[in-house]
Amino acid sequence: MQTEAPPADSLHRLITTFGGHPCGQTVADWYLYELLLNERTDICAVVEIGTWQGGFSRYLFAQCAVRGMDFVTYDAVMPDSEPPGFEQRDVFADKDEVIERLGSYEAPVLLLCDGGNKPREARLFSPHLPAGSVVVVHDWLTEFLPEDEPDYFVPVFEEVCEILGSMSRVYELKGD
């Protein structure tokens, strides 16, 4: 018995879910994080700004759990189903608490800027990261443009992002 193909929007939901939970990233971004975390074994935590429905948060939590890393995800709006590590918080109104969390880490951190204002998130929080940390900004060329890159961001994984067709860009922070 042959079944009909699901409607196009059903296929889209299938492609952009993790464990059935919607996420804004594609499989290309999942692969990018796998490569990044495999290479950067010194990273001790992933801090995500912008949870949305928590699909990608669950993916990141799973990556952190098997690697013995800390994970937290912030959003001002509660997702339909709360993912592990979720903290309901407006990161701009509660910036001191987020900065305190970032400052509590002694080893490098991966900061994912994927909330409502990626350029502001990157500029506000990246100076408070431990040395050697990595910043990943989602929605490259739509919500985060080359002119939004602070001068202390050093692009890495550029070719990988291009080859994968990733909507993210990865940066290391220039040392002093």
Question: Coil, strand, or helix at residue 153?
Answer: strand
Q: CA of 46: how far to CAs of 74, 95, 159, in Å?
A: 11, 17, 23
Residue 63 has a CB neighbour count (10 Å cut-off) of: 19
pLDDT of 174 above 70: yes
**Treating both helix axes as pointing N-terminal to C-terminal, what angle do 55-67 and 27-39 enclose, rounded to 10 degrees?**
20
Check residue 17 and give its pLDDT.
87
Check residue 176 and give its pLDDT.
60
What are the backbone dihedrals phi and psi of residue 156, each rounded to the nearest 5 degrees, phi first? -135, 160
- Percent of the chain, pLDDT > 70? 91
Check residue 2 and give its pLDDT.
54
Q: pLDDT by residue (tens digit) across 78-117? A: 999 999 999 999 999 999 999 999 999 999 999 999 999 9
Tokens of 152: 């202390």
Q: Which domains does the chain have, with CATH numbers?
A: 8-173 (3.40.50.150)
Question: Coil, strand, or helix at residue 147?
Answer: helix
Q: pLDDT by residue (tens digit) across 106-132? A: 999 999 999 999 999 999 999 999 999
Do residues 48 and 29 touch, judged by C-beta distance below 8 A?
no
Q: How far apart are CA 130 and CA 138, in angstroms?
A: 21
pLDDT of 175 above 80: no
Of residues 53, 62, 12, the one with CA closest to residue 33: 62
pLDDT of 68 above 80: yes
Check residue 3 and give its pLDDT.
53
Q: What number is the average pLDDT over the span 63-88?
A: 98
pTM (two decimals): 0.91
Q: How far apart are CA 147 and CA 8, in angstroms?
A: 35
Q: pLDDT by residue (tens digit) across 133-151? A: 999 999 999 999 999 999 9
